[in-house]
Structure 1
Amino acid sequence: MTEPISDDGRTFRREAEWVVNEIAQGLRTLDSGVSWFSGLPPARRQMVLQEVAGYVMQAHITAADGRAGVALSGVKPTANPSVMICMDPPRYGFAGLPSAEHVEAFRVLVSVFAVADTRRRERYCKGACGHAWHNLPVATEQP
């Protein structure tokens, strides 16, 4: 995968980007990503939530992406992160949620990102994509 977590925030953000994109592309399971996320200290979890919320914004999610992602996430549609992402416009203050809701927020954000990014890869990047994060190598996940 990438370098291990260090005090270097850039290296950590790169690792988070890798994990999230592997999940979005089906190279890593959501549950494996949740295990990785759950093992992080609270401050790092907040950083990841901010990063993934940024990815979701950049993917220009639609209301349909939000609903489909929530359905894939395994999180109840009435949970705070689910409601936030399905609002019009979506609310992105996931890192500000209580720490007890961070795992649900991660599940929702990554799932919504997976839906939106898949749509964009198929529609806009098919065959001519230069985005490094759309061209990941074959799965590296350990069983």
Structure 2
Amino acid sequence: MAGVLRLPSGRLIRGRGLRRPLPAGPPPTVALYLLGHEPPPVAWESRWLRWPDFWLPSDRAATAEALREAWARAEVERVEVACAGGYGRTGTALACLAVLDGVPNREAVAYVREHYAARAVETLWQRRFVSRFGWPVC
């Protein structure tokens, strides 16, 4: 399925850009929205993390907590991670989820680029965020 990342454990997480229409198929059970402004309301459970375009999340501890929750819930629920375009912030979050799933930090960006989108994780500081994700201070 387009936009769906299969993690090594088999968990599936859909990444997408909110500028594009919701893909066909069942809606997510829960979504994590990574935007510089509050997203519009949706019919499913969602969580918003303030994360300006091309930058890093405003609250790294809350981001780490939200990503851990999304990873855990993806075992049995449909999880969506989205930003405006679906590449930079979404790719960064997906790479962090890959780290939680056992992909080494130094390989997580390449994993997401191969299995989700070649343009995923757009900036040097987003790559650095992934390389340090999971340490005591994200």
Could you state the TM-score of these two structures normalised by the residue count of structure 1? 0.30
Greater relative CO, 1 or 2 (CA 8 Å, sep 6+): 1
Could you state the TM-score of these two structures normalised by the residue count of structure 2? 0.30
Question: Larger strand proportion, structure 1 or 2?
Answer: 2
